[in-house]
Amino acid sequence: MKLAFSTLALPGVPVGEAVRLAAEHGYDGVELRAAPDEPVHPGLGPGERADVAAEFAAAGVEILAVAGYAHAAAPGPDEPVIGELGDLVRLAGDLKAPYVRVFPGGGEQPAEEADAAAARRLGAIAPFAADAGVRVLLETHDSHRRARDVERVLGPVGHRNVGALWDVLHTWLGGEDPAASFAPLSPHLGYVQVKDVASAEDPAPLPLGAGVLPLGACVGALTRGGWDGWISWEYEKRWYPQAADFAQLAGAGREYLRGLLAAAPRAT
C-alpha cells in the first residue's frame, strides 16, 4: 500500500511546503484540500494548475486526490451540485490526481430522498469523470457515515468512476467494526483515511496509535481482503489549534502505519 497525508494537516501552507514535508518524511502522496482559502482550488487558472502538477512531479510525490467540499446529497436542485462536482473533476484531471473526494451532506432529509439525490448527481457526473481519468469518491461522513449508508448510494450508480472513500473515524462513530465496514465498501473502495482521537466526545487529533480508533483492525481488514491501495493520514489540526504540529509527528506516523502493514494478516 502507498501512504499519503492530507493538507488539512497544513492549513493554508504553500504547495511547496506540502511537497517538501511529504518527500522528507517518506510519504508517497498528498491529498490536496480544495477550498477557496487554500492554495489549490477550482478557481486556479491553467498555468497555476500546471505549476502545481509540475512541482509534485519534480519531487516524485503524487497528488492522491482533490479533497472537495461538494455535498452530493444536499437538499435543493441538482444543477449547482453537478456543476460543483464537474469543477472538482476538471481540477483533478488537470493535476493528474486519480480521485476527487466529496461529502454526502444529506442533512435532515429522509434517507431515501438523500440517497436518490446523491445517486442521481453522481451518476450524472460519472461519464465526465471517466473521460477525465478521475474517480469521484463519496466519503463515509455526516449523513452517510456508515459503510452501508454509502453502499445504498453507490449500488444504484453502478459506475466504475464513482466509488467510496473510507474514513475510519466516521464508520467507527456509526457503530461499525472494521470488517463490517470493509465488506460493503470493498467493491467501490478508492482509498482509506486514517486518524486517531481520544474518544467519540473528544475528536481532537492525536498521533496515530495514541487514541481509541481500531487502526490495526482496519488495516487487517484491508490486507485480509487483498486490497492494496492508498492509506492517507487525515490529521485535522485546522479545527484544533491546540493539537501538535503535523511536522513533529509525520515521521513517527509513517513508521506506525508501516508497522501495522507489516504485522497485518494477508489474504489466503
Q: Which helix (H) or strand (E) holds 67?
A: strand 62-71
41 confidence band (pLDDT: 50, 70, 90): very high
254 confidence band (pLDDT: 50, 70, 90): very high
215 confidence band (pLDDT: 50, 70, 90): very high
**What pLDDT score does 268 carry?**
76
**Distance from C-alpha of 216 to C-alpha of 260, rounded to nearest angstrom:** 6
For the segment 230-251, the average pLDDT, to the nearest whole number, is 95
Residue 103 has pLDDT above 80, yes or no: yes
For residues 146, 150, 151, 154, the Cα torsion angle rounded to the nearest 10 degrees is -170
**What pLDDT score does 95 carry?**
98
For the segment 3-32, the average pLDDT, to the nearest whole number, is 96
pLDDT tens digit sequence for 171-198? 999 999 999 999 999 999 999 999 999 9
Residue 61 has pLDDT above 90, yes or no: yes
Amino acid sitting at position 65: A
For the segment 159-180, the average pLDDT, to the nearest whole number, is 98
For the segment 59-87, the average pLDDT, to the nearest whole number, is 98
Which candidate, 138, 94, 140, 99, places its Cα nearest to that of 117? 138
**What pLDDT score does 152 carry?**
98
Residue 62 has pLDDT above 80, yes or no: yes
Residue 219 has pLDDT above 80, yes or no: yes
**Domains annotated on the chain, with CATH:** 2-263 (3.20.20.150)
**Distance from C-alpha of 96 to C-alpha of 118, rounded to nearest angstrom:** 25
**Distance from C-alpha of 146 to C-alpha of 167, rounded to nearest angstrom:** 9
**What pLDDT score does 234 carry?**
97
Q: Which residue has the cell 453522481?
A: 122
**Which cell is 222 given?**
484491508
**What pLDDT score does 65 carry?**
98
pLDDT tens digit sequence for 116-154? 999 999 999 999 999 999 999 999 999 999 999 999 999
Percent of the chain scored above 70 by pLDDT? 100
Mean pLDDT, the chain, whole residue set: 97
